[in-house]
């Protein structure tokens, strides 16, 4: 088997920049920043071999940060032959320290750690630090520091507490930075990244939405041939973009199927049929399966079990309906890169060597698939972040009302009802969720927020309504801002808006007497509650 197996993008494209991950929470963010320069990047495990890297032939390699100390006995390392590939390398934080250690320098625990914002003082404003302003803010997060540089390395920049904040071996094109240029807190971080991508690695800006669409269409046609494809259509931006992409790629070979599993938002099924059938004349097979799904969840309270049951039943319905409408050989899904990352269970895929993160939760498009799946999967979006999917959707002609819709999880309201799901709770949550969306939209904030929704808790609290004691459910209001769903911060809604939402829910939704606001970021929380 080729050393390249499993490491290319889903469309067959090889990454121009490879990020080797050492456990950093920012590894995927590095990939996103590289892609913002219109250069394709991919995150792989630090165990990726030199042979695999040679076959990938990237123009540059970035070593991510990580929580370990390079001098620890069990510290993750890369193949030391990496340094002799002749490919430019940028080490970020832990990546820089590993570079220094493996090439003969010394890294030790610092007398003073450095965390948060710090001004960067530029000693060499050329090459990697071109257009990086002297004294600009960079984001630090380290307790170890370089005590002695390897032979041939020079200092590029320092901070008050870190003498070697940026280093280089210009002849070998090896660079290291002790800060995180990929985070928004680093004022000139993108300037540094562009310098590495364009000037050091001489990459061309060819990762555009148009290029992706052309490559994805060609890859789908090659994979599918003359076979028929069944698309799991939800009406969200991911599956809608995929529907437009597949229709352009294979035309009448595509059949879209919408399964109403009973967990959609209020009015969603009707909207879906109106949008695809009447406006864009895309044939959608509408499957009524509410009772079937709800019965399967009777007595189930564990969130992972909910996801597995819904995912398995979802595929079972597809299998049954495909026999009626088919035959179909392929199932298309709008799986995205964050879905793959968050659903992973180990650090390294034993078959491909591809880096995967510690499991956070099972995603409907990934973790819920049964082992005896009868379809082959078509997932041309699985290497894209959400913002990239939106760009692809716009390029394909998807209307803004779909492109800019808030993300909605595959299991739907079933994972926004904590504990057991029932028809009563679904009705309560649908009414509350509609109020949240209406008020946020009427306030002109819908497109300023990544997600705005309601959560129903499995507890009741005492209230007073009309001089009578009530004992009813609380609704949690969850509104967050994000770029791609990998990290998120809670939205600072105006008090008058929160007051309107609370008043409407308590007065208009039977069974609710209290509204609370979730002010937890991701991390440590997740966006969804289950």
Residues belonging to the active site: 93, 180, 182
The two tokens of residue 462 are: 């005492």
- C-alpha to C-alpha distance for 199 and 338, rounded to whole angstroms: 29
Question: Does a cis peptide bond (omega within 30 degrees of 0) precede residue 523?
Answer: yes
Q: Quote the crossing angle between the two packed helices 237-250 and 209-224, to the nearest 10°.
A: 60
Bridge-partner residues for 455, per DSSP?
476
Residue 120, CB-side half-sphere exposure with 13 Å CA sphere: 33
- C-alpha to C-alpha distance for 41 and 471, rounded to whole angstroms: 53
Bridge-partner residues for 20, per DSSP?
44, 63
Torsional class of 178: left (φ above 0), alpha (ψ -120 to 50), beta (otherwise): alpha
- C-alpha to C-alpha distance for 157 and 177, rounded to whole angstroms: 9
The two tokens of residue 499 are: 């007051």
Q: Give the chain's end-to-end CA distance (angstroms, integer).
A: 39
Question: Does a cis peptide bond (omega within 30 degrees of 0) precede residue 524?
Answer: yes
210, containing H or E segment: helix 209-224
How buried is 365 (Cβ within 10 angstroms: 0-12 exposed, 13-18 middle, 19+ buried)? buried
| Close Cβ partners of 24 (under 8 Å, ≥ 6 residues apart) | 64, 65, 66, 67, 92, 93, 94
- C-alpha to C-alpha distance for 162 and 183, rounded to whole angstroms: 19
The two tokens of residue 319 are: 């299998």
């Amino acid at each position: 088997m080729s050393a390249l197996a499993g490491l290319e993008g889903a469309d067959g494209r090889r990454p121009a920049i490879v990020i080797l991950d050492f456990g950093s929470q920012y590894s995927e963010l590095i990939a996103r920043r590289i892609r913002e320069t219109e250069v394709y990047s991919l995150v792989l495990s630090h165990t990726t071999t030199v042979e695999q890297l040679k076959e990938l032939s990237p123009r540059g390699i970035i070593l991510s940060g990580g929580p370990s100390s390079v001098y620890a006995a069990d510290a993750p390392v890369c193949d030391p032959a990496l340094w002799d590939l002749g490919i430019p390398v940028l080490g970020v934080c832990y990546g820089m320290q590993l570079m220094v250690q493996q090439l003969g320098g010394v890294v030790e625990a610092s007398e003073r750690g450095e965390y948060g914002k710090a001004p960067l003082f530029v000693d060499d404003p050329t090459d990697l630090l071109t257009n990086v302003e002297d004294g600009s803010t960079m984001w630090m997060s380290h307790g170890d520091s370089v005590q002695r540089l390897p032979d041939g390395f020079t200092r590029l920049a320092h901070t008050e507490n870190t003498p070697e904040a940026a280093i280089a071996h210009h002849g070998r094109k090896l660079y290291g930075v002790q800060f995180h240029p990929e985070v928004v807190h680093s004022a000139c971080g993108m300037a540094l990244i562009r310098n590495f991508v364009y000037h050091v690695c001489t990459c061309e800006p060819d990762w555009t939405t148009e290029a992706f669409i052309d490559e994805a269409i060609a890859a789908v046609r090659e994979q599918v041939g003359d076979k028929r494809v069944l698309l799991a259509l939800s009406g969200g931006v991911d599956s809608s973009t995929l529907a437009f992409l597949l229709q352009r790629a294979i035309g009448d070979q595509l059949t879209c199927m919408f399964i109403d599993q009973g967990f959609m938002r209020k009015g969603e099924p009707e909207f879906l049929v109106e949008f695809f059938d009447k406006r864009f004349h895309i044939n959608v097979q509408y499957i009524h399966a509410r009772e079937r799904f709800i019965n399967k969840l009777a007595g189930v309270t564990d969130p992972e079990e909910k996801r597995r049951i819904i995912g398995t039943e979802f595929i079972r319905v597809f299998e049954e309906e495909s026999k009626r409408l088919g035959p179909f050989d392929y199932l298309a899904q709008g799986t995205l890169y964050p879905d793959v990352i968050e659903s992973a269970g180990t650090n390294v895929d034993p078959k491909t060597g591809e880096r995967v993160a510690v499991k956070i939760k099972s995603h409907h498009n990934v973790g819920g698939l049964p082992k005896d799946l009868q379809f082959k999967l078509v997932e041309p979006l699985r290497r894209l972040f959400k913002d990239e999917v939106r760009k692809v959707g716009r390029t394909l002609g998807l209307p803004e009302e779909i492109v800019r819709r808030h993300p909605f999880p595959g299991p739907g309201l079933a994972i926004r009802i904590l504990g057991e799901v029932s028809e009563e709770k679904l009705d309560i949550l649908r009414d509350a969720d509609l109020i949240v969306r209406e008020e946020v939209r009427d306030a002109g904030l819908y497109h300023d927020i990544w997600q705005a929704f309601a959560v129903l808790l499995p507890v009741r609290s005492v209230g007073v309504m009309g001089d009578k004691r009530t004992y009813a459910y609380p609704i949690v209001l969850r509104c967050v801002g994000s770029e791609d769903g990998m990290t998120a911060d809670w939205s600072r809604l105006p008090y008058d808006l929160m007051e309107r939402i609370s008043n409407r829910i308590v007065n208009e939704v039977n069974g609710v007497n209290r509204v609370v606001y979730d002010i937890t970021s991701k991390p440590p929380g997740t966006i969804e509650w289950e």
